[in-house]
Amino acid sequence: MITRPENSLATIDDPTEALTSFIPDEAGLYVAQLIVHDASLSSNPDTSKITIEILVVNHNPQSTIHKLLQAR
């Protein structure tokens, strides 16, 4: 991870694996860079920018009404 939001602690789960992941923990810009190595050569860097936004969804209020029964 080259860049991450100021308060983020997110890291690549296992940077040595061919298939890995990360879990963003803050909204903002994350920049990840990939360089593939073999026994003698390294690839050119490949960089990805990932922007995480927090979306606020305004749902209609929901309520449940239970009818109370009285014993007679």
Collapsing DSSP states into helix, strand and coil, what is residue 48?
strand
Distance CA 46, CA 31 (A): 10
How high is the pLDDT of residue 27?
92
| Strand segments (E) across 1-72 | 28-34, 46-52
pLDDT in tens, 9-22: 999 999 888 888 88
pLDDT in tens, 18-45: 888 889 999 999 999 988 888 899 999 9
Decide: pTM greater than 0.75.
no
Ordered by start, the domain boundaries in the chain are 1-54
Tokens of residue 51, six digits: 């922007």
> Does residue 18 contact residue 44 with C-beta atoms inside 8 Å?
no
Residue whose pair of structure tokens reads 């890291």 in the numeric block = 11
